Chain A
């Protein structure tokens, strides 16, 4: 059959059974949309959550010095553990593969500018903190640097929400705010970011100070907490073990005493989410695939009817010398064409949905992603379903007895 008359025949089939063909193609389209859209949504959501998690920083652990729970070298339990910047420096020296930053907090000081009076969470840190915790300055500003630290400068870096509360839409960098009646220069404002987890408030509402300035101002020696970050998530457990070991030695507590320093390992949550999303996406993929398989059964069904209705034509072709395997190929090709048409339509719908997906929702559920993986998997699935759906009707067509098909017998 020339391709031209092949398509003419197919169009004729479609014309003869408009509704049935339409429903069938719709079945495949719907299946394709289910698979690709569900998986795309899963992927978008995962990306979103990963991004939100990274709002706190990648592969970081937050550690709070607390009280011992195991007696050690004649010292009773319940002893307070206090960490100083010297201890942090020791950790930096002894665990070079991780980065460390101490953090001092305070929420009893008032910021004042014109009529605005606020008591935000203050976080006093070293410059490295910004990179570890994904605190990124918006253009025109900067974070606390080494010189600020050395000279104990009275400078402040503002979270984006705090800046808005103090300055509104005005430019803040270069202006002064009063902190407990001491003037501080605003050196930067944080780039807005999404953050799904926090301790002592979100970064958007915080004021960041150089830790040296903070200590001089409030007379505090000990950090409230410190954070550390490893290159890879897999290095986190070993770094954690070393932290206990080194601080245990310096501050005299049992290295196995996990209550002496409370730790929040954020990679644990990531690990959980990775497994969770792997399962979640597999689940969505399976549901979508079943829809697609049901669509395939529909295609197979209509092809049986088509074979039935074209029995005489098949008989004529067999009589003039068409080989049965040619007949089989013809019906298989027709099924694949229907499947491909339904699939292409489905992809278009999916791309359309992704294109018009409201960006306001991105913050909550992410934007669905038509990744190559989604497209390749769905296309492969479509191909297999088309082949299987076409094989049985095509085989029945090729096995027709020409005598019976021509109603000669």
Chain B
């Protein structure tokens, strides 16, 4: 599913060059649940951006679902994000003026799905994350946990190869956070490939594989005993 070889990412800030990733090799197969852990500044966010095609590596090979994505232009990368990646962010990143349904419809809209099918699929996905009765609510009318469920529904609605989650429980109280972790476990059980960045050792335990990053390199890659 994901095949990264020798990925390097260098940020040039003024005269100083910061090497955020220095030669990362990472293969992730279908239906893996990978937790990426590491201290802040370790390069795990950069890795997530590169995996999610939000950012391009300075050098190295990246094959996603059989497509070489390094070096594609911005419009092609947008297409790849739309079809293959679902993002879940720490701060939800929902459109504030749009309803839950409209937020979930967004990827389908950019993917060119017709209106009728769009709302059907979005409603279905909201039902799946337990928000069937909240589809017309705006983010301000939802709790943090509900907002994150909307975000997860949005990430899943276009049936992406990978769901990328960046600290999805970071802004939630422990109860809501726990429910979200359970939801991810359910999705994984249903066959979804998940890559999650987290500080939370508890969540890392749920994953089938834990990748540890330090100073832009993978220092540990351990599969949980099944």
Contacts and interface: CB of A to CB of B under 8 A. Distances in A.
Interface stretch (A97-105, A132-140, A322-330): A322-330
A316 B55 contact: no
A45 to B, nearest CB: 50
A273 to B, nearest CB: 57
A319 interface: yes
Contact of B109 (A2, A318, A324, A402): A2
A296 B93 CA distance: 33
A324 B74 contact: yes
Please list the 9 inter-chain residue pairs (A to B) with the smallest Cβ-Cβ separation, ordered nearest first.
A321-B82, A321-B110, A323-B78, A320-B107, A323-B75, A321-B81, A322-B110, A316-B93, A402-B54
A409 interface: yes
A317 B110 contact: yes
A119 to B, nearest CB: 84
Interface string A185-201: 00000000000000000
Contacts of A321: 78-79, 81-83, 107, 110-111, 158
Contacts of B95: 313, 316
Interface string A297-340: 00000000000000011011111111111100000000000000
A322 B81 CA distance: 9
Interface residues of A, number: 26
Contacts of A9: 97
B93 A323 contact: no
Interface in B145-166: 154, 158, 166
Contacts of A402: 54
A407 to B, nearest CB: 9
28 contacts: A1-B109, A2-B109, A2-B115, A8-B97, A9-B97, A312-B93, A318-B78, A318-B81, A319-B52, A319-B81, A319-B87, A321-B107, A321-B111, A321-B158, A322-B78, A322-B110, A323-B74, A323-B78, A323-B79, A324-B74, A324-B78, A325-B75, A401-B55, A403-B54, A406-B93, A408-B54, A408-B89, A409-B45
Interface string B10-47: 00000000000000000000000000000000000110
Contacts of A8: 97
A403 B49 contact: yes
B197 to A, nearest CB: 11
Interface of B: 45-46, 49, 52, 54-55, 74-75, 78-79, 81-83, 87, 89, 93-95, 97-98, 102, 106-107, 109-111, 115, 154, 158, 166
A315 B91 CA distance: 13
Contacts of B115: 2
Contacts of B97: 5, 8-9, 12
Nearest to B52: A319
A406 B88 CA distance: 12
A2 B112 CA distance: 11
A402 to B, nearest CB: 5
B104 to A, nearest CB: 10
A323 B166 CA distance: 22
B165 to A, nearest CB: 13
A236 B111 CA distance: 72
Contact of A317 (B45, B89, B106): B106
Contacts of A318: 54, 78, 81
Contacts of A315: 93
Contacts of A313: 95
A409 B110 contact: no
A315 B55 CA distance: 12
Contacts of A320: 81-82, 87, 106-107, 110, 154
A14 to B, nearest CB: 12
Contacts of A319: 52, 54, 81, 87, 93
Contacts of A409: 45-46, 49
Contacts of A326: 110
A12 to B, nearest CB: 5
